[in-house]
A and B are shown apart, each in its own frame.
Chain A
């Protein structure tokens, strides 16, 4: 048996390694973990050296060690929030994350659909556009935070104001993005459709809509994080449950461990959300070449 045969991996493993997809996947996971590990070890080092006060900046091994203690503060319904006596479970943590995610999803979905409709409407109906566009442009720069009192005045306390704030965070930006995308549809695409005998309605339906959707989806993904920031504020102020409410409670009770634990959860949920949207984008908008999707 020659030396070469000895080091040659078995064909199964060779195939496994040759398969670029799996290799890529593992390398992505590895880099992600390394990236987190560096951050965590710096923090732990600072604690070990005594630079970071464990009361104010408890490192991960502290705020992740007493999980059952942390779980007590999570209650999806929000009724027991802050009650220290009866503890929640892992499920209740998932429940809280789920509620926040639902609010973000509802706000994003309604914002996306409505902005698309309004954007198309502005360009399709001349008079509608002239009436609506100045309004949209004026409302666009107002921070969602400024909308909080309005949301509470109109919708009271509950899910609706939180969803509304997420909606506000994406709607105006997405409407303007829709307009700019419509204006950037290649002229050739429309001229071809005209020669083929398309009516205005058909051009919007068969040419403009499919042309603008991929870019709009990218814009939506970039606004995802803004939506998460807004939902936390909305929950802290106007809902009484969710990750934002837990963070606010942790702040009020000076519970640093809980603050960092919740921040970890928020980071994780946001990350998963982005992955999910990426997946949807790949599946639904298949006509965007692989390179364009990969870039963002």
Chain B
């Protein structure tokens, strides 16, 4: 059922062809931060979303709209105030290696070498040293960091560190990768290179990816589906299906049209947020 097998990994499947019984199911989730305080913050309201196995979904929305909160709930690091999230038919109650999380900062452990960082999870799950070594070599090659395994994180550039973080998540063979603005801290050139790289890895790994961003270009370059969020409280405003082969030319008429549509949707939300701040 993977797109790779059907179309050589280039064309997204029509939605109906994904196996919707597996993957992430988000049922009516709401999240309120500090619910008992004087000013509780409603981050998410009634989110319903399914992400099929192997699908690449991007959450696009203005800053502070609760997209990240949704990722943390799906990772099992935060509880939803209402509603349930399911993965492969089981309710998400705690973190698990099958749902990898990538932060905006690489967050590599500075006291470990790059290799030890990447195999940290494998060490915890009790893999033997030789197997770990082999896995590290394979992963370093996969993310294009061959030969840097014995270096310290602070010796790497920002892009390289983020690739190491990706390798660390991939080491656990996750079924879904949750990415919280993973390339936001990188310069534009590194960023587009990393996006291409991520697509390669995604196609090789058959994992689903749920990526949060506020960059329209990033969303359109990567996603099968772009989910546009409203400003706080975060609700799903619209869904845009990007039915284009990758790599995509963002300057093609079709993509420009989609970008304009996203821009309009976002502009409305930013405008709304500004007005609310002014009245408050």
**B154 close to chain A: CB less than 8 A:** yes
Interface centre among B97, B103, B110, B121 (most CB of A within 10 A): B110
Of A193, A195, A289, the contact of B100 (CB 8 Å cutoff): A195
CA distance A287 to B112 in the complex (A): 7
Determine whether the beta carbon of A191 is less than 8 Å from that of B111: no
* Residues of B contacting A: mostly: loop
Determine whether the beta carbon of A196 is less than 8 Å from that of B121: yes
Determine whether the beta carbon of A191 is less than 8 Å from that of B124: no
Determine whether the beta carbon of A287 is less than 8 Å from that of B111: yes
**A42 close to chain B: CB less than 8 A:** no
**CB of A213, distance to nearest CB on chain B (Å):** 8
Within 8 A of A (CB), among B149-198: 152, 154, 168, 172
Determine whether the beta carbon of B124 is less than 8 Å from that of A202: yes
Determine whether the beta carbon of B124 is less than 8 Å from that of A197: yes
Across-interface contacts of B77 in A (CB, < 8 A):
191, 194-195
**B86 close to chain A: CB less than 8 A:** no
Across-interface contacts of B109 in A (CB, < 8 A):
189, 207, 210-211
* Residues of A contacting B: mostly: helix
**A186 close to chain B: CB less than 8 A:** yes
Determine whether the beta carbon of B101 is less than 8 Å from that of A198: no
**A55 close to chain B: CB less than 8 A:** no
Across-interface contacts of B221 in A (CB, < 8 A):
none
Across-interface contacts of A192 in B (CB, < 8 A):
101, 107, 168
**A79 close to chain B: CB less than 8 A:** no
With A287-B152, A289-B154 known as contacts, the answer to whether A195 contacts B111 (CB < 8 A) is: no
What number of B residues sit within 8 Å (CB to CB) of A? 25
**CB of A220, distance to nearest CB on chain B (Å):** 18
Across-interface contacts of B152 in A (CB, < 8 A):
287
CA distance A194 to B72 in the complex (A): 12
CA distance A264 to B77 in the complex (A): 57
With A194-B77, A197-B97 known as contacts, the answer to whether A189 contacts B111 (CB < 8 A) is: no
Interface string of A276-288 (1 = CB under 8 A from B): 0000000000011
**A32 close to chain B: CB less than 8 A:** no
Determine whether the beta carbon of A289 is less than 8 Å from that of B110: yes
**CB of A250, distance to nearest CB on chain B (Å):** 47
CA distance A210 to B112 in the complex (A): 10
**A19 close to chain B: CB less than 8 A:** no
**A253 close to chain B: CB less than 8 A:** no
Across-interface contacts of A11 in B (CB, < 8 A):
none
CA distance A206 to B125 in the complex (A): 13
* 4 nearest CB pairs, A to B: A287-B111, A196-B121, A188-B107, A194-B95
